[in-house]
Amino acid sequence: MDTDVIFPNMTSTLQITGCHFGRKSPGWVYPKHHHHLYEVLYCQSGEGRMQIGTDEILLGSGDWLFIRAGARHQMENACACTNESTGEIEPMDHSCFSFFNIHFDIDDSGMRKTLSQREYRLIPHNQAASTELPAYVTRIELEMQHSLSSNSAVIQKDSAIRLTLTSVQKMALQAYILLIIQEIILLQSEEAEHIPDVIPEATMHKADTAHRIEEQLQTMISSEGSITQMAEKLNLSRSQCTKIFKEIYGISPRQYVTEKKLKHAKQLLVSTNKTIEDIADELGYHSVSHFSRQFRRGTGLSPNQFRPRPMT
C-alpha cells in the first residue's frame, strides 16, 4: 500500500534586526531602552552587566541571555582596566567585552507565547554547552569571516563594518538564527514542565480573559474592526484589554490582528489564484492600496512580488 506522510503548510515571517558581533572597551555603556523586538545576547569573552527592570545580571564568557520584547534594559562592559588585586593595568583584550547580539521578531503566535513567558532568561555557560547554541554561533562566525575575506565589507565612519551577504548566506544566517530561537524555546518549554500546576487564581482569570479577547479578535481578521468596540463587548476598557492580552500573549491586540491578517494573506497568495483585490476584500481592507501598504510594511515586498511566479 502506498503511503504519503505530509507535513502541514507553514507560512511565517522572521524579522532580524541588528544582528552583529561587538567588541567594547572598558567604560562602554548602552543606555536604558526598550523596543518591540526580542533580544538574544551571547557573551564571547570579558564580562557584561545587564540591568533589566530592577534586576542586575552579570554575564561571563559562554553565558547567554534572552530578553522579552518590551523589557527595559541597559548593557555595559563590566570589566575594569585596572586589576583590583595588583593595581596594574589589564591588557586591552582582557578587559574588552565581546558579544554576539540578535534582535528579532517572529509572527508565529505559539512561539511568541512561549518566548513571552518571562521578562528575561539567563542561560549559564554550562547549560548552554549542553545545547547546540555554541555550534550555531561558530557557524555564523564562519559566514562572517567568509564575507570579510571576500572584500564585500564596507567600513563606515562609526567604525562599524557592514557586511554584504549573498542570497545563500542570508538563507544560512536566517536558518542558524531560527535554530538558536528553537534552542531557547526548548529550554523555556523544559522549564515550564517543572513549574507547579497550581496557578494563582488571578493569573487564571487573566488567561481566561485573554482567551476571550482572542476569540473576538479572530472575527476581526476578515474586517477592519475596532479594538475599542471589541473591548466594550467584554466590559473592558481598551487599556485593560491591551494590558491583559499583552501580559498573556506578549503582543498587543492590534498587533495580533495585523499579524494574523498578514499570515493569512501570505497563505492565500501562495496557495490560491485569488486576485489581489479579492484577497484584500476577504481580509476586510477598505482598498487594495491600503492592503498593499500594510503587506509591504510587514514583509518588505508587495503582494505581487511575494506571490510565486509560475514555472516556465
Q: What is the pLDDT along the chain (312 residues), one digit of tens a residue?
A: 788 998 888 777 888 988 999 999 988 999 988 877 899 999 999 999 999 977 899 999 999 999 988 788 999 998 865 444 554 544 445 579 999 999 998 888 788 878 888 889 999 999 999 999 999 999 999 988 888 777 655 666 567 788 888 889 899 999 999 999 999 999 887 765 554 444 444 555 777 788 788 888 888 888 777 888 888 888 899 999 999 888 877 888 988 888 888 888 998 998 899 999 999 999 888 889 999 998 998 888 899 998 887 655
Tell me the C-alpha distance between 285 and 295, whole Å.
11
- 66: β partners: 40, 121
Residues 6+ apart with CB under 8 A from 242: 227, 252, 253
- 155: β partners: 161
Task: Report the pLDDT value the prediction gives residue 310, as an integer from 0 to 100.
Answer: 67
Task: Report the pLDDT value the prediction gives residue 195, as an integer from 0 to 100.
Answer: 47
Q: Examine domains 14-193 and 201-306 and report if their fold is the same.
A: no
Residue type, 208: D
Phi and psi, residue 205, nearest 5° = -65, -45
CATH superfamily, domain at 14-193: Regulatory protein AraC (2.60.120.280)
Task: Report the pLDDT value the prediction gives residue 198, as an integer from 0 to 100.
Answer: 40
Residue type, 276: I
Tell me the C-alpha distance between 280 and 311, whole Å.
25
Claim: this prediction has a pTM higher than 0.75: no
Task: Report the pLDDT value the prediction gives residue 285, as an integer from 0 to 100.
Answer: 87
Helix axis angle for 201-218 and 253-271, nearest 10°, is 40
Task: Report the pLDDT value the prediction gives residue 117, as an integer from 0 to 100.
Answer: 80
Task: Report the pLDDT value the prediction gives residue 102, as an integer from 0 to 100.
Answer: 96
Q: Which CATH architecture has domain 201-306?
A: Orthogonal Bundle (1.10)
DSSP state of 216: H
Task: Report the pLDDT value the prediction gives residue 19, as an integer from 0 to 100.
Answer: 92
Pair 58, 49: CB distance under 8 Å: yes
Tell me how far apart the 2 most distant CA atoms of the chain are, in Å: 78
Say if residue 84 is exposed, middle or buried (CB neighbours under 10 Å; 0-12, 13-18, 19+).
exposed
H or E stretch covering 136: helix 133-149
Q: Where are the domains of the chain?
A: 14-193, 201-306
Task: Report the pLDDT value the prediction gives residue 72, as an integer from 0 to 100.
Answer: 83
